[in-house]
Amino acid sequence: MPFLIVNGKTFRWRVGLKKEVETHVTLPKWLDDYIFNELGAKYCRSNADMTVIDWDKSDMLNYLGTYFPRSYAEAYCIFGDYFINGKPQLLEKDTISIFDFGCGTGGEIVGLITQIKQHSERLKVIKVYGMDGNHHALRLCEPVLDLLTSHIGININFTPIPVTIDDFYDLSILDSVLYDKYDIIITFKAICEFVSKERFEKENAYSYIIKTLLPKLDQDGLMLLEDITSYSDITNEWLPKMMDAGILTQPCKKVHINEGYNLPIYVTHSHQNNDVSKVAWRMITHKK
């Protein structure tokens, strides 16, 4: 895909669409100051397989300074792209509900809400339900969302859901903790953990997650599956191809995807310039 450089910023130029889409993002200063100076986040890049559910508080501070900014940038770019060109009906609502499967410290939630705020004039309340098996991550996520409320002027109600999923049998737990249907369901770099730890044996983890979460999605809602682009030695398959295969097994349709399997998105913050993450994503809705 061709690129356009304007005033030092890089944009992807998409033929036939109204606006170019930014792939380089700078973490907002208030957010940068808060996570690094107030919460004590550390930048500590690692190429090792991530099994975040087992990390302690020190590990999570490294995660907060390294992967939180990346997730923020990924959600900001992906949803910004779709909101500019897709014009979903949910942007006309005054209340929006979000469920994040494997929310971690909440970088993708902040990036998503920042884009919603920029594209919605009616929004007054955002209900966020964040599920994660790591309690340290949830404790870091909550104050960040509290501070976000004061910066965007929209009431954000955060409900942490401390649930650990060990295998596909445990997915039934979600029926007892998720009572509503949600406008947006997201999962960022979480399903790969189930694959790497063989939580679903050698079955397609994406298929099971979609099958479980799709009934929780509002009829006009959006579900975003985003993950790393690695090759799995467990399943002997590339994760993005597993994602596509899993989607095909469920009653849903793709409405927004990245071209190919490996899109680089860059984020700059006080501890790293142009830190890159390479991801694949598929945005789906109900098949009507």
Q: What is the pLDDT of residue 235?
A: 83
CATH number for the domain that contains residue 174: 3.40.50.150
Q: What is the pLDDT of residue 4?
A: 37
Residues sharing a CB contact under 8 Å with residue 15, sequence separation 6 or more, in sequence order: none
Query: 38-47: buried (b, 16+ CB within 10 Å) or exposed (e) per residue?
Result: ebebebeeee
The pair of structure tokens assigned to 129 is 């339900």
- Closest to 104 measured CA to CA, from 150, 69, 52: 52
Q: Are 211 and 251 in contact (CB under 8 A)?
A: no
Q: Beta-carbon neighbour count of residue 244 at 10 Å?
A: 17
How many CA atoms lie less than 13 Å away from 174 in the CB half-sphere? 28
Amino acid at 34: Y
SS3 106: coil
Q: Report how far apart, in Å, the C-alpha atoms of 107 and of each of 119, 138, 160, 181, 240 are.
A: 19, 12, 15, 22, 21
Domain count, the chain: 1
Query: 211-239: buried (b, 16+ CB within 10 Å) or exposed (e) per residue?
Result: bbbbebbbeebbbbbbbbbeebeebeebb
Name 281's bridge partners. 226
Q: Are 23 and 266 in contact (CB under 8 A)?
A: yes
- Closest to 222 measured CA to CA, from 281, 275, 274, 143: 281
Residues sharing a CB contact under 8 Å with residue 10, sequence separation 6 or more, in sequence order: 3, 4, 22, 23, 24, 266
Q: What is the pLDDT of residue 54?
A: 56
- Per-residue model confidence as pLDDT tens for the chain (288 residues): 443 333 344 444 343 344 456 789 999 999 999 999 999 999 987 644 444 555 677 888 998 999 999 999 999 999 999 998 877 888 999 999 999 999 999 999 999 999 999 999 899 999 999 999 899 999 999 999 999 999 999 999 999 999 887 776 677 788 888 888 999 999 999 998 888 777 666 679 999 899 999 999 999 999 999 999 988 888 888 999 999 999 999 999 999 998 778 889 999 999 999 999 999 999 999 997
End-to-end CA distance of the chain: 31
Is the pTM higher than 0.85? The answer reads yes
Q: What is the pLDDT of residue 225?
A: 98
Per DSSP, helices labelled H in the chain are 29-33, 57-86, 107-119, 135-152, 174-177, 191-196, 205-213, 239-248
Q: What is the pLDDT of residue 92?
A: 92
What one-character DSSP code corresponds to residue 15? T
Q: What is the pLDDT of residue 36?
A: 97
Q: 40: domain range?
A: 3-286
The conformational region for residue 46 under phi > 0 = left, psi -120 to 50 = alpha, else beta, is beta
What one-character DSSP code corresponds to residue 181? -
